[in-house]
Amino acid sequence: MIRTENLIYSYVDEYEDTSEFVIDGINLHIEEGSFVAVLGHNGSGKSTLAKHFNAILLPTGGNVYVKGMNTKDENLVFDIRKTAGMVFQNPDNQMVAAMVEDEVAFAPENLGVEPEEIRRRVDECLKVVGMTQFSKHSPSRLSGGQKQRVAIASVLAMEPECIILDEPTAMLDPQGRKEVIDTIKMLNKERGITVVLITHYMDEAAMADRVVVMEKGRIVLDDVPRKVFSQVELLKEIGLDVPQVTEFAHELGKAGIGIKNDVLTVEECVNEVLKMLKFGGGR
């Protein structure tokens, strides 16, 4: 779905005549239908990388391909953004209409879609994200989680094959976060949409098929969640946390209580502790 070849991006300071590399030679393949989480502390380059995936930013060096389309080709930008839709951290920055259903209809209207098809897409996309009952509401009267689900529906109305979400839950309360993450998981598992989730929440990343960890514009880890989060010390060295249960298992191991160090859920951790107690492991 997405491929980067030696991707380099730098910001130029015109006043001081200097440039700073934010992305430094990244080679990354994101498979169609996968759910990939990208982690990194502030300034690691993860949001800058995400903006390359639908040509909001263009490479300083190297190339980015979306379904084989080079983002540098100005003639392909329209098709690239139809293929890879973007959802930002603050849904208010994406809202342009006074009514929810008009918000979802905005993109397909600008794509020249027939009115009957627009109506079908609006109804279907609001149903998919569980917002049908709010179709006549003003977005300004919705909760943060509801606004973000409308933003996702607006992207879905373009019928993209991939959705890139740049820290979509950063401004939400726990209930809003759950609503959005449940929607993202459903779109990936039931609809087969490729998902790239930029996040700083470890429990969200643990739900992905694959976790990519960035530091200083480079990829330092790229594997399934269990293998990435089992490297507790390395993650802490670069300023990241791990899921609480994983850290708990890690601390038990340091204390000489031997349980698996790659647990990701409370249930797995409980089972490991019970197994250890049953067989008298660790003292």
What is the pTM assigned to this prediction? 0.83
pLDDT, averaged across the chain: 86
Supply φ then ψ for residue 215, to 5 degrees: -150, 125
Is the Cα dihedral 201, 66, 44, 247 positive or negative? positive
How many Cα atoms occupy the beta-carbon half-sphere of 267 within 13 Å? 0
Is residue 37 within 8 Å of residue 197, measured between CB atoms?
A: yes
pLDDT of residue 282: 47
Is residue 184 within 8 Å of residue 195, measured between CB atoms?
A: yes
Q: How far apart are CA 231 and CA 81, in angstroms?
A: 36
Q: How far apart are CA 151 and CA 163, in angstroms?
A: 11
Give the residues of the chain that fall short of pLDDT 70.
13-19, 250, 253-262, 264, 272, 277-283
What order of strands is seen across the sheet that includes strand 2-13? 18-30, 2-13, 61-66, 69-70
Q: How far apart are CA 135 and CA 233, in angstroms?
A: 47
pLDDT of residue 233: 83
pLDDT single digits (tens) 209-230:
999 999 999 999 999 998 898 8
pLDDT single digits (tens) 238-279:
888 777 777 777 677 666 666 666 676 777 777 767 777 666
Let me know how long the chain is: 283
Question: Could you tell me the two tokens for 278?
Answer: 């049953």
CA R_g for the chain: 21
Instruction: Give the chain's largest Cα–Cα span.
Output: 70
Supply φ then ψ for residue 195, to 5 degrees: -120, 130
Q: Which residues pair with 39 in a beta bridge?
A: 213
255: Cβ contacts below 8 Å, ≥ 6 apart: none
pLDDT of residue 11: 80
Question: Going from the N-terminus, what domains does the chain have, and what CATH number goes with each?
Answer: 2-224 (3.40.50.300)
Angle at 164 between CA 211 and CA 13, to 5 degrees: 95
